[in-house]
Amino acid sequence: MPRAGQCLLWLGLVLASVCASLESAAPSNSTTGAALALAQISGPLNVLLIIVDDLRPSLGCYGDKAIRSPNIDQLASRSLLFQNAFAQQAVCAPSRVSFLTGRRPDTTRLYDFNSYWRIHAGNFSTIPQYFKENGYVTMSVGKVFHPGISSNYSDDSPYSWSFPPYHPSSEKYENTKTCRGPDGQLHANLLCPVDVADVPEGTLPDKQSTEQAIRLLEKMKTSASPFFLAVGYHKPHIPFRYPKEFQKLYPLENITLAPDPQVPAGLPPVAYNPWMDIRQREDVQALNLSVPYGPIPVDFQRKIRQSYFASVSYLDTQVGHLLSALDDLQLTNSTIIAFASDHGWALGEHGEWAKYSNFDVATRVPLMFYVPGRTAPLPEAGEELFPYIDPFDSVLELMEPGRRVMDLVELLSLSPTLAGLAGLHVPPRCPVPSFHVQLCREGQNLGKHFQLQDLGEDPHLRGNPRESIAYSQYPRPADYPQWNSDKPSLKDIKVMGYSIRTIDYRYTVWVGFDPREFLANFSDVHAGELYFVDSDPLQDHNMYNDSQGRDLLQSLMP
């Protein structure tokens, strides 16, 4: 279908203009109901940004009743929750640079882990940098930027942070032989439930990050300056290294398999990721799996899913301790809380076990915002909004999100939305191209969604989910799965998969890509995917070459 690339470009331009017109039709930042409500709070609002690694929306507040996540659910009950939020690339460094700068991967020119955007693309401002330049004390704890070349080996210091970022000392053991196997020996395994008292330093990275974040909150309690604190949690990123008691929450006999564990018959080979990173773990190597498609034995599939869910519940306790401390310090009435993940993670869907794709399981993320006095009433004196909840309690109260937004949104909207909610000027939209512009945004400001309660659910501001759209992309080194298909270096990228997600369908076209010029050739179409969400929510039946798919694509042509 040679016209598919033209169709994608045209559709993108049309829908981008629709989004821009919808946003421009909303009241300006200075006159919104949100701004008027926040004016009742004396002084600027602080920001607590919680970023989680590899967390798909497997949470109670997103409807997954099998997961024990009471503290995150409690946050959701006081927040505005975005039901359909999507990352722009399903791998750590490109996604984080994208949403922290508010630019798409094609602008940051980061598709791998091996370049620093300020040198190789443009001197783009970040959201913590913008807050810092507006009088905030900005602090980083844990994994916020991806460490290494992609953040200049400094987590973008000194640009983004008021003082050097904190990394837990125990993080250096994450990929070492600290997992005790059935043979009694220590291994570098994928599945790694541990006795915390027996691991090096007697602690785990996310525990240390929570403790450091609480120490910083205690210091900022008496500060005259507002703060922007970003806390990055490692789990549920692999290896699944977590306190072993969390396994008890998920008995193996209760763990179900993915509803679609087979590689779909119509899936183009270029779209498949062969999950090479988990194959490198000792316990997975012992399975002697075939490459690229596996499959993993059923009993081990259950163990992977069990450890992922246990890691989520462990993460939930850390979020709970952090938010409880915010309560204890009486900061909940002056602090915006944003909670997001950098991307999702496949747990056997389509026969895949990682991120590295354009499917919903890899790109869809949790995203929620608590704004004091807006998404929940201001707490009374002595009232706790976020008391710690033990996930091991036998009976947990079911908590519904404060309010859900069904519109499709993009993770790169995080930056302008936080700026607007904090009362700062929202950076302007980026021109095309924008490599020379230091401060602008390619994502929408989601502030209009926070106005609805004050404006009586005005239907003109509600928006139409059918007019919302999310873009994602993923690079490949070849048309068929190979050893570096998951994480190709820039020089090896030959194909780029550009994906459009609407409320009705996901449409992906895989086109030729020149890594030296950073150019996609939309007349060089290698493969395509089209999934109708209503009839195929799991995205298993590719209709790209079906008559129904051709009719839809033809109807979208100008």
Distances (CA, A) of 73 to 81, 317, 336, 397, 400: 10, 11, 17, 10, 7
CB atoms within 10 A of CB 459: 9
Give the amino acid at 556. Answer: L
**Helix ranges, 60-144 (H):** 70-77, 92-101, 105-108, 117-120, 127-133
Spot the catalytic one: 61, 146, 167, 526. 146
* 3-class state of residue 82 by DSSP: strand
Question: In Å, how far from its chain's centre is CA 529?
Answer: 23
Rounded CA-CA distance 331/138 in Å is: 16
Q: 476 has which bridge partners?
A: 495
- 224, with CB counted inside 10 A (0-12, 13-18, 19+), is exposed
Residue 476 and residue 493 in contact, taking contact as beta carbons nearer than 8 Å: yes
Annotated catalytic, 61? no
Which residues make Cβ contacts (< 8 Å) with residue 348, sequence separation at least 6? 257, 258, 261, 296, 301, 304, 305
Phi and psi angles of residue 532, each rounded to the nearest 5 degrees, phi first: -90, 115
CB of 111 closer than 8 Å to CB of 490: yes
Q: Out of 19, 61, 92, 440, which one is annotated catalytic?
A: 92
The C-alpha atoms of residue 166 and residue 10 are separated, in whole angstroms, by 45
92 is catalytic: yes
* Tokens read off for 326: 């915010």
DSSP letter at 166 equals B
Instruction: Please report, for the chain, how many H helices and E strands are present, in that order.
Output: 15, 15
Query: Which positions are catalytic?
Result: 92, 146
